[in-house]
Amino acid sequence: MKRALALPLAVFALTSPSQVSAQKPYSVVEASISDMRAALAAKRTTSREIVMQSLARIALYEGRLHAVITVNPRALAIADSLDRLRTQGKILGPLHGIPVALKDNIHTTDMPTTGGALAFADLVPPYAATLTKNLEAAEAIIIAKTQLTELANWVAAGMPGNYNGLNGYGMNPWDPRRDPRETFFDGRPVLGTGGSSSGVGTNVSFWVANVGTETSGSILSPSNQNMLAGIKPTVGRVSRYGVIPITADQDTPGPMTRSVSDAAIMLSVLENATPDSNDAATKLCPLPAGRDYTKFLNPNGLKGARIGIPRAFFYDRSGPPAPGSTMPRGGLNDTQKKTMDSVIALLRHLGATVVDPADIPSITDTNAASNFLNWNPCSGDQSKGRDAECSVAFKYGMKRDFNTWLKSLGDNAPVKTLTELRQWNIAHQRVGAIKYGQAQLDISDEMNVQVDRARYEADRRKDILLSATNGINAALKANRLDALLFPGVSSANIGARPGYPTVTVPYSFVPVAQGTGAAAFPAGFEPKPAPFNVSFTASACSEPKLIELAFAFEQATKKRVAPPLFP
């Protein structure tokens, strides 16, 4: 997008990565927050030089990746001001002079906040998100707003991850080619980037870390697809004030980084020192002492830990059949099974007690009405009259919370209601709005916040019963576990419903299937392997323990590598 690229292209015309390297040996590529802190303290680099390298990398690679919607035009000026403070001996925060990026559904008042939607292309909110203020208080440089699936993937059923009408398709650095299959030949990437957040810029060192948001999988999925460490916090751990919502029941911001230690640093900054009066959920979890998650970075953290293996569905094809079918559900392919076998062996080697199996009761329940696998959020064509067998919590929450958010914008709001947004989209289809339709917005807008409240509350109770009470909580309690271990990020759905935390860690690559029938790749086309993480999940407010487990695993494996096509 031209607005995003104008500044870095101008910088690149003056300073190429090779020139920066010639002037200063320090490189931002794969550098951690601690690396940058140390280099700045030792005067081996400056914040200006770090930002210059970051902008040069954006200019060089953004055209192939679409990781950025807007670059902060004040990034260099902010870096200069922080460098001046540093020379005066004033280090004002743990991210002083270090560039990070925000998903473009998080309010900033010096850049637009678009949500990837054409209707919001020029929206500059009248207030900053609480987490934006926290990052600024830590003296981070918010260098850019990142790509995302439009409105956090609650616009259309079937819309590709990381697509939006404003900036097109995000591409994956591990395989930045377009999908050649006729069935999918619309410009989308052959290897998904995950969504709705983007981890692409962090993966290729445009910045050291980024903040995503998740309602169900939108931090975990892009972390997995970009071989990043990600923390999906307990809902309320990080304030949602100033974040374009889907539903307050499940929405949460969280960090995406190249290491667990960086994610811990970021979470320490993102969480408020006191509850946010604009977000009641921030009262739920107690702060760690000193508001510091790095104290849980224990390389021996797996020793004595009890880790459960939820075999049914998540590992083995043994989930009860769907209604009307006789085939069991779920399971891993042979390569994934071998990968997870090696993970489990390593956990035992590192001193963990592995409880295998530690199945989740609501997954194995043979009563169809009590099985979590049969209870999904209403989506697509599941409008009123067709939504008896799904949870209305998403579509109800979107109507309730999106209209409240629009009202908070005052005169800055380009549209005043969800209904107006849908009408605007229809009127602007020919210029690129709603390429994949807007079925999710449609089924949300038909909800009546007053009339449908009883149905919503009943469905939320069932969400919590199946995902938490008879789900994750039951498995943890029955087996006295510290956490459950999930392949990839397969806990996203069941963990999201009750707002539970997960920490995901890079581990391996797995082959991408050649596909069959209409999904088969053309002869001679070889898809590249996809990243494959492992994830630790537990109940509300368990981030300290999950960070400890994830860090110990990461330090024992250190499998994160940089994508070779973007040196």
**Helices 33-41 and 260-270, packing angle to 10 deg:** 80
Give residues with Cβ within 8 angstroms of 467, minimum separation 6.
362, 372, 494, 495, 496, 497, 498
Q: List, for residues 32-87, the tens digit of each pLDDT value.
A: 999 999 999 999 999 999 999 999 999 999 999 999 999 999 999 999 999 999 99
Active site residue 103: yes
Give residues with Cβ within 8 angstroms of 398, minimum separation 6.
154, 245, 246, 247, 418, 440, 441, 444, 447
The residue-averaged pLDDT of 501-513 equals: 97
Q: List, for residues 184-223, the tens digit of each pLDDT value.
A: 999 999 999 999 999 999 999 999 999 999 999 999 999 9
CA 82 to chain centre: 29
User: Of 236, 240, 297, nearest to 263 (Cα)?
Assistant: 297
47, 54, 103, 542: which one is catalytic? 103
Can you tell me the distance from the alpha carbon of 5 to that of 66, in angstroms, rounded to the nearest whole number? 10
Say how many C-beta atoms besides its own lie within 10 A of residue 410's C-beta.
Answer: 10
pLDDT at 21: 42
Please give the span between the terminal C-alpha atoms of the chain, in angstroms, as a whole number. Answer: 23
The residue-averaged pLDDT of 255-268 equals: 98
Q: List, for residues 457-466, the tens digit of each pLDDT value.
A: 999 999 999 9
Asked if residues 352 and 307 have their Cβ atoms less than 8 Å apart, the reply is: yes
User: Of 73, 74, 27, nearest to 50 (Cα)?
Assistant: 27
Mean of the per-residue pLDDT values for the chain?
95
198, 218, 491, 539: which one is catalytic? 218
Triad 432, 182, 172: Cα angle to 5°: 65
At 24, is the pLDDT very low, low, confident or very high (cuts 50, 70, 90)?
A: low
User: Of 104, 255, 230, nearest to 167 (Cα)?
Assistant: 104
pLDDT at 92: 87
Phi/psi at 408 (5° precision): -70, -20
The fraction of the chain above a pLDDT of 70, given in percent, is 96
pLDDT at 323: 84
Active site residue 558: no
Residue 12 has pLDDT above 50, yes or no: no
47, 54, 196, 490: which one is catalytic? 196
Its sign, for the CA torsion 241, 156, 497, 268, is negative
Triad 493, 340, 325: Cα angle to 5°: 50
